[in-house]
Amino acid sequence: MNNVANQYDPHGGTPAWGTRRGPVVPYVPGLDGIRALAVLAVVVYHANRQWLGGGFLGVEIFFVISGYLITLLLIAEREREGGVSLGNFWLRRARRLLPALFTLLIGTITYCAMFDRDRLGMLRGDVIAGAVYISNWFQIHTGSSYTSEFAFAPLRHLWSLAVEEQFYIVWPVVMFALLWRIRPKTLPVLGFIFTGIALAIGVYSAWLYQPGPIDTVAKTPEQYMNLFGRSVLRTDFLYLGTVTRASGLFLGAALATIWRPWAIRRGRAGRNASGLDILGSVGIAALAFMCWKFRELVVVIDSGMQGYDLLYQGGLLLVGVATVAVIATVTHPRSLLGKYVIGTPVLVWIGKRSYGLYLYHWTIFQVYRKSAGTALNIQEFIGLMFITLVITEISYRFIEIPIRTGQFTAWWRERRRTRTPFGPLGVALAILAVVPVFSVVSMAGARVIPDDITADLNEGEGAVVTIPSTVPSDSTVASTSTVPTTGTTVPVQKLDVLAVGDSVMLGAASKLSKEGFTVDAAKNRQVIDALQIFNYYKAKGTLADNVVIHLGTNGTTRATTYEAILAPLVSVPRVIVLTLKVPGREYQKLNNEIIRALPSTHPNVTILDWQSEAKAHPEWFGSDGTHLNSAGRDGYVTLIKQALGR
């Protein structure tokens, strides 16, 4: 007599049905509830990082769930069938994952081909990497960091799916070998080994991580590592790398070896779950606290960008441990937390669609805002989430479920068997298919064109003047022969106007230079970096009578920092300091308060309220709302000239 059982799908959705005797993995609504909470955290983080700075930790929760369920399925199959069918396992994964992924890829290519053709060339590498599940390594290799702000990156989020898919390819082979001779009673030994590996990965990541500021490889070589002959950021490798992100997968796998639902139901542990409910509640509280407390993958302080130390020095491991506690609780058959809190119908509904929701939301956000770092407001978020949910539901009902359950294959075979004509609907679908084909062909031959912001900054770098990398003292300044690191030769005569800024000023460097300004502007520059510049020109005796400062775009600064950089300018007759426009950044208000207070203690300082002027001209800005377009550069230069009385 066959035992019909409810087999669990680790990516949510309707369960598949088994027909063999032996242990099966039951469907647990609480797991879909955890998945729902995880994907909601990620979505909120991607919408506006100020709302939930640690929402990206939801990805780690997904990793732990996947490690648990995949290992559990393999153990159950080994006990039930006497072996593991690798081919069947990979076929089930392909039918579950590929339809929605290919829908996303084709849809993204088609959109760009029809509405944003300049992006096709840049998109090509991401599409290929996404299709073969190596997005994480592609991003590490190319340096397209997960934290970069103004790029149009509609497929950046596929890195996490690449990590999971690589796990799905390798892990069944590992478990096939390990389960060959191991009996169920000795499975906990594997659990201890997997836990040890997870801890070792955490220790290795903490050892590999390098605290401190992150800049170019020339300025901060300690923040880079060699990977196949290429210098890559340590934080990129640690956050995106398959090995360094495998601790959660191993923790989930360890739990599967000692916490198997069919064994729990038969043993004493299945009689009461009150203690587990307390443990699970603590785990949920810990996850919520970490999602709220953790602020970004990298943080930007006065000394520059640097990794969030706690995240890379054990934070991800703590997330994995807390997730294990929650999974152990909700998978208990008598858990009240799993049944009445985490396993509520709304969360279960979201959890079953979490894969599609994760796939589509980021791309839809990007299509709307054009740049990765632009924060959404609440109205935009609600509107885009409505679109995301509609597309997710259509994909779930009409693409994912039919292919996963075999309905589409059965329909196709029936059509071929009966030779039933497709009719007008088939003709319409065939015509519609021409558009994606044309789009893919267009992408294959498209030129790689940098986005507008990057192109403008690259152009601006040719118009800046930079000081030597080592600033000489007063006594040696006349005889120094240090060559500037980039740009043109520093002039000897006294400057007319010295303009020092970050990437916003860099975008207008060419126009400022044509007006006779000496411009020293750079990407990712911090306020404190100006001190070396001003000291250099003061030591040479060429410091201008007019200085323009536009700094603070890249992170929080302090009043003492502005005091430090203004000290060398005490004898400069006129210093113009611009306020900041950085939409969606909490430090915009803090930095502007510091800037606006400067004239009270520095009589030679005049404030150019760039934030207010820019607010009246939204047409001046690129996709991120911070960097200038052509009209913005003209307005920017005009306002600075007016502030100088020119």
Q: Provide the 3-class DSSP secondary structure of residue 3.
A: coil
Confidence check: pLDDT of 389 > 90: yes
Predicted local distance difference test score (pLDDT) of residue 478:
37
Q: Provide the 3-class DSSP secondary structure of residue 519.
A: strand
Instruction: Express each pLDDT in 280-324 by its tens digit.
Output: 999 999 999 999 988 777 666 666 677 888 999 999 999 999 999
The pTM assigned to this predicted structure is: 0.84
323 neighbors 60 (Cβ within 8 angstroms) = yes
Q: Provide the 3-class DSSP secondary structure of residue 12.
A: coil
Predicted local distance difference test score (pLDDT) of residue 608:
96
Could you tell me where the beta strands, DSSP code E, fall in 281-410?
298-301, 304-307
Confidence check: pLDDT of 494 > 90: no
Question: What are φ and ψ of residue 233, in 5° steps?
Answer: -65, 135
pLDDT winner (highest mean) among 298-307, 403-412, 430-439, 545-554? 545-554
345 neighbors 351 (Cβ within 8 angstroms) = no
Q: Provide mean pLDDT across the span 253-282.
A: 83
pLDDT band at 218 (very low <50, low <70, confident <90, very high): confident
Q: Provide mean pLDDT across the span 554-567.
A: 91
- Sorted by where each begins, the domain ranges of the chain are 5-444, 452-643
Q: What is the mean pLDDT of the chain?
A: 86
Residue 550 neighbours by CB under 8 Å, 6+ apart: 499, 500, 501, 502, 504, 505, 577, 578, 580, 610
In angstroms, the CA 445 to CA 359 distance is 26
Predicted local distance difference test score (pLDDT) of residue 304:
66
Could you tell me where the beta strands, DSSP code E, fall in 138-242?
224-227, 230-233
Instruction: Express each pLDDT in 85-133 by its tens digit.
Output: 999 999 999 999 999 999 999 999 999 999 988 888 889 999 999 999 9
Q: Provide mean pLDDT across the span 620-643.
A: 91
Tell the residue number behind the tokens 């059509």, with chain if given.
415
Count of residues in the chain: 646
Closest C-alpha to 387, from 352, 370, 362: 362
Q: Which helix (H) or strand (E) holds 59?
A: helix 58-81
Instruction: Express each pLDDT in 523-556 by its tens digit.
Output: 888 899 899 999 999 999 999 999 999 999 888 8
The topology under which CATH files domain 452-643 is: Rossmann fold (3.40.50)
Q: Provide mean pLDDT across the span 181-190.
A: 83
pLDDT band at 448 (very low <50, low <70, confident <90, very high): confident
Instruction: Express each pLDDT in 21-68 by its tens digit.
Output: 667 788 899 999 999 999 999 999 999 988 999 999 999 999 999 999
